[in-house]
């Protein structure tokens, strides 16, 4: 068992999942892109939320070169990353009833906006409640999750439901329960998770679909450029000024 062999096996697994998602989720990605374009065209605002490592894919589409300037991170204190101490507190907070509602109520989100909720398992109270409350407020909700968890695990929300049950559009990452692609002799636990790779790809594909849909309607997608490219700062300044009332990651 050489390191190179295992590394190659992970790439093969990730590529296989990406191909599955590309082919099997094409209609959902197109629908999600259309929903985002609808929201942008109507003057609505865009938000993304994820807890724990699922937050990585949400952060990946916020304030970045090549991304939509209107995408804002809906942050829940203590669950956005592994910086909370101890790290296990973040996992515990995902199971707290009422937290999502409190965050939504104090956020800028309002009817007509769109929220992408990313949760690999979709079983914890936080993403389920977030989706339920967001829809009740009149937001369009896109869920990015592994649908397999809904049949192979038990919901931790009092309703017994999962994230996928409270979304207008669901994108299935196809990640197997446990989120580890490899096993090997002499290694006791499965390892090499691919959820971040696949979920981030789903998010970027959806953003690309949204940009294409906006252009088809004659609307210039409000994209950010790299600040490390000549003219990037000037470009971004213009976009941020034009859409200042819909961008919340700045003062």
CA distance 57 to 196: 7
Reply yes or no: is the peptide bond before residue 146 cis, omega within 30 of 0: no
Give the chain's length. Answer: 251
Tokens representing 35 are 């929903």
- The Cα 158–Cα 132 span in angstroms is 12
pLDDT category, 89, cuts 50, 70, 90?
confident
Residue 246 β-bridge partners: none
The pLDDT, as a whole number, for residue 97 is: 83
Q: What pLDDT shows up at residue 2?
A: 52
More confident residue, 245 or 250: 245
Q: Is the pLDDT of residue 83 over 80?
A: no
Determine the average pLDDT of the residues in 1-29.
92
Confidence (pTM): 0.94
pLDDT, residue 30, reads 98
**Token duo for residue 15:** 């590529």
pLDDT over 70 (residue 251): no
Model confidence at 242: pLDDT above 80: yes
Long-range contacts of 98-104 (CB under 8 A, 24+ apart): 98/129, 99/125, 99/126, 99/129, 100/76, 100/125, 100/126, 100/127, 100/129, 100/130, 100/133, 101/129, 101/133, 103/74, 103/75, 103/76, 103/130, 104/74, 104/130, 104/133, 104/134, 104/137
Beta-carbon count within 10 A of 80 CB: 21
Residue 3 has pLDDT above 60, yes or no: no
Per-residue pLDDT for 222 more than 70? Answer: yes
pLDDT at 50 over 80: yes
Strand partners, 247: none
Q: Give the whole-number percent of the chain exceeding pLDDT 90.
A: 80
Computed over every residue of the chain, the mean pLDDT equals 93
Give the pair of three-digit tokens for residue 83. 């910086």
Of 28-37, 79-88, 181-190, which gets the smallest average pLDDT? 79-88
Is the pLDDT at 1 greater than 60? The verdict is no
Neighbours of 195 (CB within 10 A): 23
pLDDT at 85 over 90: no
* Alpha helices by DSSP H, the chain: 3-24, 26-41, 54-59, 87-93, 99-105, 125-136, 149-152, 195-216, 232-242
Over residues 177-215, the pLDDT tens digits come to 999 999 999 999 999 999 999 999 999 999 999 999 999
């Amino acid at each position: 068992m050489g390191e190179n062999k295992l590394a190659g096996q992970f790439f093969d697994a990730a590529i296989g999942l990406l191909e599955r998602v590309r082919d099997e989720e094409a209609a959902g990605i197109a629908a999600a892109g259309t929903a985002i374009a609808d929201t942008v065209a109507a003057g609505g605002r865009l938000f993304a939320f994820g807890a724990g490592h699922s937050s990585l894919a949400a952060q990946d589409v916020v304030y970045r070169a090549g991304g939509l300037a209107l995408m804002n991170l809906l942050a829940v204190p203590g669950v956005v990353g592994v910086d909370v101490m101890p790290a296990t507190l973040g996992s515990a907070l995902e199971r707290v009833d009422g937290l999502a509602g409190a965050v939504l109520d104090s956020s800028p989100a309002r009817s007509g906006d769109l929220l992408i909720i990313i949760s690999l398992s979709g079983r914890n109270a936080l993403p389920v409640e977030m989706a339920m409350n967001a829809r009740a407020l009149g937001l369009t909700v896109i869920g990015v999750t592994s649908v397999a968890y809904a049949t192979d695990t038990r919901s931790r929300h009092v309703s017994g439901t999962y994230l996928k049950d409270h979304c207008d559009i669901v994108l299935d990452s196809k990640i197997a329960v446990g989120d580890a692609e490899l096993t090997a002799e002499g290694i006791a636990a499965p390892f090499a998770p691919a959820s971040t790779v696949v979920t981030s790809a789903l998010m970027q594909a959806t953003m690309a679909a949204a940009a294409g849909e906006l252009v088809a309607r004659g609307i210039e997608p409000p994209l950010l450029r790299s600040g490390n490219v000549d003219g990037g700062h000037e470009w971004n300044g213009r976009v941020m000024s034009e859409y200042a009332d819909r961008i919340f990651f700045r003062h």
